[in-house]
Amino acid sequence: MEPSSVQEVVSQTEEKMSRAVAHAVSEFSNFRTGRASSVLVEKLLVDYYGSEVPMVQVASFSVPEARTLVISPYDKNALKAIEKAILGSDLGINPSNDGSVIRLAFPQLTEERRKDLVKLVRQKAEEGRVAVRNVRRTARHELEQLEKAGVVRSDELDRSEKDLDKVTQDHISELDKSLAHKEKELLEI
């Protein structure tokens, strides 16, 4: 659906930028701080009877200790597939299978590994910033189309582009705050 007014373009842009920031922040949760969390494995794809399904659909999770994650499959036949998915992931953790559940023991992070994780988080943040800027570029294009169609005057276009820039800066600033918090969390011993 084509937006028919400047307000529609700006409101749709804000919504899209908010989703881009939320996605980038959710990506941050994939970087562990040495504590066990089901977020790390929930989205891993498991080959379950010939189809790839997220692990959250075939197992439940519990954290009995700060550094231990226990994965309990709903179907015991899925144990091997879950174990294979974990080994094939970039977690770098060897699963321990006792025949009924899988245990993941998370080691203490080294200083070097913490710095590597910070680099990866910064990369995800930059991808989020690029996504926000792409949304702004698309919105500017839509506004220019409205001007060409005669719906918007050029002074109104200039004012709305300044509003877009402010919205963009607000969203990038929100992303940067989340990045700073995650960096602090990762570097904390």
Chunked into runs of 10 residues, the chain (189 residues) has average pLDDT values of 72 93 85 72 87 91 88 91 87 85 84 84 93 94 88 87 93 95 83
- The confidence score (pLDDT) of residue 9 equals 87
Q: What are the extents of the domains in the chain?
A: 6-29+110-187, 39-105
| Closest-CA residue to 39 (of 51, 23, 27, 48) | 27
pTM given for the model: 0.68
State the Cα–Cα distance between residues 162 and 142, nearest whole angstrom: 15
Q: Which CATH number applies to 6-29+110-187: 1.10.40.60, 3.30.420.130, 1.10.132.20, 1.10.357.10?
A: 1.10.132.20
DSSP 83-152: HHHHHHSSS----EE-SS-EEEEPPPPPHHHHHHHHHHHHHHHHHHHHHHHHHHHHHHHHHHHHHHTTSS
Let me know if 34 is exposed, middle or buried by CB neighbors in 10 A (0-12, 13-18, 19+). Answer: middle
pLDDT at 1: 43
CATH ID of 39-105, from 3.40.630.30, 3.30.1360.40, 3.90.550.10, 3.20.20.80? 3.30.1360.40
CA distance 29 to 27: 5
Give the pLDDT score at 3: 57
